[in-house]
Homo-oligomer: A and B are copies of this chain.
Amino acid sequence: MRKLAITALAATGVAFGGAAMAQDQDYTIGVSIPAATHGWTGGVVFHAEQAAQTLEEGYPGLNVIVQTSPDAPSQASAIEDLAAQGIDALVVLPFNSDELTGPVGALAGRNPDLFVTVVDRGLSDPSIQDLYVAGDNPGFGRVAAEYFVERLEDGAQVVVLRGIPTVIDDERNESFRAALDGSGIEIVDSQYANWNRDDAFRVMQDFLSKHDRIDAVWASDDDMALGVIEAIRQAEREDIQFVVGGAGMKQMVQRVMEGDPMIPVDVSYPPGMIATAMAVTAGSFYSQAPVRGTYVLDAELITQENAERFYFEDSPF
């Protein structure tokens, strides 16, 4: 039961603090994130709320307000609401760049001392932010491909499910292909499935009907991986050795931890990045160590050995 012990011990939130005497100073951090509309944002909400609690415990003077919003216009309003409460820092994971750059930029323009932290999806104008915390999208594809190269022989045939046509999906896909170069592994088919489980189920059914031999699947997302696995199960195909998803969904990390041969690994794109961003933002007030900059968190290969580090028992994701 080492897993449970670690999970209970380790806090999700983090505190980035200075000497005790400075920790009583009063600061307010406003955190604006999407509501838990799908799995990954559910993880973001969980980690943000945990971090808010831990940071407030760590710094008696600190107040952290977490606001979730169901869509971009609501998020723009929520940011104004936070501003009206007199925040010293804004940590924002924007719904999208187009609709949030204006509101965040205007707020920062009116409040030159406001510390602005942007998480995951960048704003169109990066000069607005003091700190940017993000996942590594090229690394996300490269790490998956490196595992394929390690596991498969020259001549292996794989299929790829893509997300929604976006810069992020392009970066992941290009680096996946680049890292397969020269391995002799062939991508025999590739289709968009919109980061959606049902679409992935249908795409995988199509792949299975078209290709007699498929050695492995890069589902490139844990939700899509679930759809893929269901299609394989229903087709009773025995040729597929494994499926690699991505993000670090709880039930997928659990399968990795349990040694499921179909899900031997996962690739992280951690929703906990919101907690890292909040902690470093607090550090901007309670320490004079430099924190302004760009922090890109690794896409890590989640294996049976390290999976417990990526498993959060109380998280919905």
Tell me the A residues contacting B by CB distance below 8 Å. Answer: 9-22, 25, 47, 51, 54, 57-58, 130, 136, 268, 270, 272-273, 275-276, 279, 283, 286-298, 300, 309, 312
Contact = CB atoms under 8 A, between A and B. Distances in A.
A295 B295 CA distance: 4
Contacts of A136: 293
B14 A283 contact: yes
B15 A16 contact: yes
10 contacts: A10-B22, A11-B17, A11-B287, A11-B288, A14-B287, A16-B283, A130-B298, A290-B298, A291-B297, A294-B296
Given A276-B291, A291-B276, A294-B295, A18 B18 contact: no
Given A283-B279, A295-B294, A20 B57 contact: yes
Nearest to A21: B9
Given A16-B279, A292-B297, 6 more contacts: A9-B22, A11-B17, A16-B283, A268-B290, A272-B288, A273-B289
B287 A297 contact: no
A293 B270 CA distance: 12
A19 to B, nearest CB: 4
A190 to B, nearest CB: 28
Contacts of A21: 9
Contacts of A14: 16-18, 283, 286-287, 289
A20 B292 CA distance: 27
B292 A300 contact: yes
B298 A296 contact: no
